[in-house]
Structures are given as structure tokens and as C-alpha cells.
Amino acid sequence: MFTRWFISMIITFFSSISAFGTELNVMCAKGLIKVCKEAAKVFEEKTGNKIFLNFPSSGRLAMQIEAGIPADVFLLSDKRWGDFLAREGLLIEKSIKPFASTTLLVVTRKDSSINTLDDLTKADRIAVGDKFTVIGSRILQAFKALHLYKKLKDKFIPAPTVNQAALWASTGNVNAAIIFNPTYLEFEKNLKVVYRFPSNTYDPIYFYTSIVESSQKKKVAEEFSEFLFSPTVKEILKKYGFEPVNN
């Protein structure tokens, strides 16, 4: 009797583990929060696996991986961190792939008198990213390509994040801001687009997926990484202002 009960309990236990699926730790750059949350929910519903998300900046996430914090998938906005971790043997190099991109915009408050790129010469303060960040380096490239950098550089106010730059513009703390398209969509109630930089004025701005070398769940990690290229996620990306990248 006891033996039969014990076997029944063992079967129930392993069945319950299977029912919950695999728990996957996904480290996701802050700029991808909404995309990650929605994509993770769909993936969980489709596969029965559970996704745990972590949302600091790419740099902080990279340092967590370097420190040995458990992780399976790393979604990053700055490939330099991916390359660094790959050199350290902490990321699978061939797994680092761009799955989304975005564009640069000049935005101002809706009631601003700045309506064109040339009007930026009338601005006193323009919020930009730090030159060592992805957005900051692309802003420098774009303005230099348009021969406006020397005219405007003394007006630049470095913002700690893209969202902060958008917030400063929406509250009038700066006259204009250079931000990503998805960020604009979050603040479009108060902002207007003055200019969209042509894609040939700056290097592409990609968001990458990658798999952590120490992951014990590489099969599911690969499945989630591939899922980011699916038609479902492509629609999610478009919804939040990103442009999908084909695998």
C-alpha cells in the first residue's frame, strides 16, 4: 500500500515540474521593457515555460553576468558589452544577433516655436545622450554628417537616459531633445517630431539577443531567442515603435 502511494506521489511530483516548464532568466535592457514583457507573456502561453525578467541598463546587466548572477538570455542595446562578455567567455559569441532597430528623432514640446531642424539654432538647451552611450555617439555622427555639430554643440545638455531627455523636453527644461522613436511614442501626448534623421547619417541602432555561456537551459534559451524573430514579436516591436530585423 505504502509503495503504491509513494510511486503515485513521485509521478505527481514530476508531472507538476513538467507542468510548470522551464524557468528562464532573461536580462533585458531598459529600452526594451514593454517589448520584453509582452513577448515573454506570449512565449509563456505558447510553451508553458516561465520567464523572469531583469531590467537594468546594458552595462549593469553585463556586470551582473560577469559577477555570476544566474542568467540565460541577455537582451542588450550596446553591442560593446556583448563583445566584452563574449571575449571573457561569458556569452556565446555566435548567439549575439540583432533582432530590432530604431531611429533618431528631434522632438520638442507641442507648443514650441521650433518646427524644423534649422530652428535648433534658436534653442538654448538641447538634451542629448552622453557621447559614450549608443544614442550619444549616434547623435554626434548625425549632426556631424549634417554639418551642424559645431553650430549646436555648445547647446547640448547630456541626459542620463533617453527617457530623461524626453521628460526634460516635455516639461520645458530643454528646448529640444534627440531621442529614439519608441521613447517618443511614450511621450507623444506632450511632444512633436521636428525632424527624423536620415538613416545614412549615423550607424544603425540595434538591439541584440544573446545566450549566456553558463546557462543550464540553453535549449529553451535558444527557443526564446529565436522567438524574438517570429511574426508575433515583429508585430509587438512595431507596436512600440521599433523596426524588426530579420534573422
198 φ/ψ angles, rounded to the nearest 5 degrees: -60, 145
55-84 tens-digit pLDDT: 877 788 888 888 988 899 999 999 999 999
Looking at residue 66, its pLDDT comes to 87
Looking at residue 20, its pLDDT comes to 58
Confidence of residue 2 (pLDDT cuts 50, 70, 90): very low
Lowest-confidence pick of 60-69, 74-83, 118-127, 173-182: 60-69
pTM listed for this prediction: 0.87
Looking at residue 143, its pLDDT comes to 98
Whole-number average pLDDT of the chain = 91
**DSSP letter at 56?**
S
Q: At residue 213, does pLDDT exceed 70?
A: yes
Q: At residue 156, does pLDDT exceed 60?
A: yes
> What are the C-alpha distances in Å from 127 to residues 58, 108, 112, 124, 160?
21, 10, 15, 10, 10
3-59 tens-digit pLDDT: 444 434 443 444 344 445 899 999 999 889 999 999 999 999 999 999 999 887 778
Q: What is the mean pLDDT of residues 191-220?
A: 97
159-168 tens-digit pLDDT: 999 999 999 9
Q: How far is CA 219 from the centre of its chain?
A: 23
How are beta strands 73-76 and 205-211 bridged, if at all? antiparallel
| Furthest-apart CA atoms within the chain: distance in Å | 87
* Among 159, 146, 88, 157, CA closest to 116: 146
Q: At residue 87, does pLDDT exceed 90?
A: yes
Q: Is 118 helix (H, G, I), strand (E, B) or coil?
A: helix
The per-residue DSSP string of 144-161 comes to HHTT-HHHHGGGEEEESS
Instruction: Match 544577433 to its residue by C-alpha cell.
Output: 97
Q: What is the mean pLDDT of residues 98-120?
A: 97
Q: What is the mean pLDDT of residues 182-192?
A: 97
Looking at residue 15, its pLDDT comes to 39
